[in-house]
Each structure stands twice: as C-alpha cells, then as structure tokens.
Amino acid sequence: MKSWFVPCILIAWLLPASGDHCLNPPPVNYSIFIITGREERFVTYLCMRGYHLVGKKQLSCNKTSLEWDSPAPTCLLGHCPNPVLVNGQLNSSNLGPVSEEEVVTFKCDVGYILKGGNWSQCQKNHTWIPPIPTCITGQCKLPERPKHGHFKARDFNSGSVVVFHCDVGYQLIGAQSLQCMDGEWSGEPPICEEILKTTSEVPVETEKESCAFQERKNICESIQRLMQCQKEKRKTLKELKYSLEIKKLQLENIKAVMSTEIKERNF
C-alpha cells in the first residue's frame, strides 16, 4: 500500500487546490502517477517494475464536467501481459508472471496454421516483439464469383486450386486460377469482359439494304426508287453516280453477250 500511497500524497500537496479543476485522480495499486499542466490538466500512470499497465496510460481533465475522460488503469503482475494463443499452445521456461526479456514459443493445434512468428520476447517497454501470433484455419473464404462467369473447385482448403470460366461472349481478364495458401487466396479474382465484335464480323448489307440498282420494266421507275433509297440512306450524289455507273457496265456486258449469241445463231 505504501508503494503507491506516498507519491499520491506528495503530488496532491504540490498542486494548488482549485474548484475549477478535476479532483485528484484515483490511486492505482503498484503504480505512481504524475499530474502536469495548469490550464489543461493531465495525469500519467506508471507501473512499478514487475507490473504492466492495463488501460489508458494518460488521462485528461474535462473542463466542462470537471471529470477525468477515462477510468483509471490498473497495474497487473508481470512485466508483459500474459501471452494468449487461441487454438494453440505456448511453451515458457517460467510458469509464474512474465519477466523482462522472457522468451515464449508457440504451436497451433491440429487443423490450424500459425500466422506470425513462432516465438516472442518480452521487451523493456512491456510489449511482445515479435507480436503474439494467431492460429487460423487453413481453409480460405468462398471466392467471389465473377459477373457473367463461374468457377470450379474441389474444396477451399489450404493448397486447393479454384479455376474461373466466363460465359459465352465474354473473355477472362486476370488470373484464370487461384490457390488457397494458409487461409488466403494467391491473388484477386478475375473479371469477365464482353468480347467486342470486329469489323469483319459486322454483317454485310444486302443488295436491298445497300440501295443497289434494281432493274424493272420501267427504267425511270427503277432510277426514281434508287434515288429515293439513296436519299433515305443519306447517300451523296457521288455515291449515287458510282452505283449507276456500276449498273451501266453490268447492262453493257449483258448486251454484248446477247449480241454475240444472236450473230452465232444467224451463222
């Protein structure tokens, strides 16, 4: 009791009493506390050697409520907090409270994988370095199914592989397969992107859709229909002239063939 009571008395005696400040903070076993500041008052708790602090180390005085912003911490036996490994075991040379520079080793239960270092040491600042590890299951979470696609997998245990596929008309962007490694996938799931049609895949216009010259009994009617179609399709006069010239050549070729056939019959 004396180890913390004397420092509290000395601090209270050194600070002026005032009605516009918080009352002296509650004492904590196996600790000393230091109050600093006049306008804004703070209190800092320090545990004695062989104890570690649990809670907030520094409290501040609220000017409105004249109360400390958090409850006082506690000082527990042991230089560092007792290491806890859920779903695992730890080995230590000391069965009592943790002492400074003490080293502990860790091992997970069957079916769990150690994530982190397999040992840790209690430091002078009451922390464990490296940090206390955790024991996790080797199974990965269900992977995200890509939109317009799917995946195939036997299971999601450590070492398993999942393969992704896209629906018809879509292509895979990213890794086609991922592997479960110590409870985590080896990468991000891919996406399925729509396959855009190339120019060669664009359907060719039919003769009717392209406003080709269609011969009829009345040649004037044929030309009028062609011009009307070209107008609806917003074709230029140059394009219209080109279409008529092509049809003219076709008619001349037909006429030449027919003339040759008539001469051969006469002979």
pLDDT at 200 (0 to 100): 53
The better pLDDT of the pair 220, 80 is held by 80
| DSSP reduced 3-state for 42 | strand
Q: Is the pTM of this model over 0.85?
A: no
State the average pLDDT for the chain. Answer: 76
In a domain, 200, yes or no: no
Which burial class, exposed, middle or buried, applies to 100 when counting CB atoms under 10 A from its CB (0-12, 13-18, 19+)? middle
Q: Using an 8 Å Cβ cutoff, are 117 and 160 in contact?
A: no
What's the pLDDT band for 199 if we cut at 50, 70, 90?
low
Instruction: Pick the more confident residue, 13 or 162.
Output: 162
- Residue 144, domain member (yes or no): no
Among residues 34, 71, 70, 73, the alpha carbon closest in space to that of 52 is found at 73
Partner residues linked to 170 by β-bridges: 194
44 domain residue, yes or no = yes
Residue 262 has pLDDT above 70, yes or no: no
**Domain of residue 160, CATH code:** 2.10.70.10
Confidence of residue 13 (pLDDT cuts 50, 70, 90): very low
Give the integer Cα–Cα distance in Å for 176 and 161: 10
Query: In terms of residue numbers, what domain contains 24?
Result: 2-77
